[in-house]
Every structure is written in structure tokens, then in C-alpha cells.
Amino acid sequence: MVELSHGTITIDALPIHRLPRQTIRSRLIGLPQDAYLLPGSVRLNADPLNQSNDKAIIQALKDVTLWEQVIVAKGDADKYAHPLDVLVEELHLSHGQRQLFCIARALLTRSTSNILVLDEATSK
């Protein structure tokens, strides 16, 4: 985040320049245009800070219609004890599905954040 050169940004009538940057960052959910997924499991990508239980992660993936794809990938690779252990690379997600995955991640963080920032949401 950069310092404002002029003007103000307010959230709930509170100018954000009065808040510590770390507080602002922790309260915003950013969804970039180019969805980024970490190498690793579905669980790691859905909940990188390990703050949600499996039931919540599964529900978030169902909410964005990706849970069935995880189940199919798990069925193709019986080496995983749990569907959330499937490597995200094995899902072979399209660009749009990767964005949906990031929305699932945002759904899991909404208990601490209720402002969603979309980067060029209508550009693709």
C-alpha cells in the first residue's frame, strides 16, 4: 500500500490513514485478476494460515462448485488419505476455476475480513 498524495479513503466513516497498515491489510481480502495458487495441497491453498477446519474448507469449495473436481482428482490418485490432501496441481484448473478457488479462500477468511477488493473483476 502506498501513501495517499491527496484525498481520503474511508471505511465506515473512518479515514484509513489513521489505522496502521498491518491492520488494514489484515482486514481486506484481495482477489487478483491472475489467481495464484501455491505448490501443495488443496488444504494449504484454501487455508494457508491453517485457521479453518476440514468441514469449512469443503463447504467453501462446494460453494464455488469445485468440490467435485477435488473428489475426481482424489479418485484418480488413491495415494491421498483425504481429498484435501490432493495436490492442487493435479486438479488441472482452468483460469476461471483458479479464480473460483481464490474466492473459496476468501470465503474462509471472511470471519476476520469483510471487505473484498477485486482487481479488474470484469476485464476477462
CATH of the domain at 101: 3.40.50.300
Q: What is the pLDDT of residue 76?
A: 67
Q: What is the 3-state secondary structure (H, E, C) of 86-121?
A: CEHHHHCCCHHHHHHHHHHHHHHHCCCCCEEEECCC
How far is Cα 18 from Cα 47, in angstroms, rounded to an integer? 30
| DSSP element (H, E) containing 23 | helix 21-27
**Is residue 92 domain-resident?**
yes
Give the HSE-up count for residue 17: Cα atoms under 13 Å, Cβ half-sphere. Answer: 8
What is the number of structural domains in the chain?
1
**Is residue 19 domain-resident?**
no
**Is residue 80 domain-resident?**
yes
**Is residue 121 domain-resident?**
no
Q: What is the pLDDT of residue 123?
A: 54
pTM for this prediction: 0.78
pLDDT averaged over 10-residue windows placed end to end, the chain, 124 residues: 77 84 82 88 95 96 96 80 93 93 88 74 55
Domain encompassing residue 44: 34-112
**Is residue 22 domain-resident?**
no
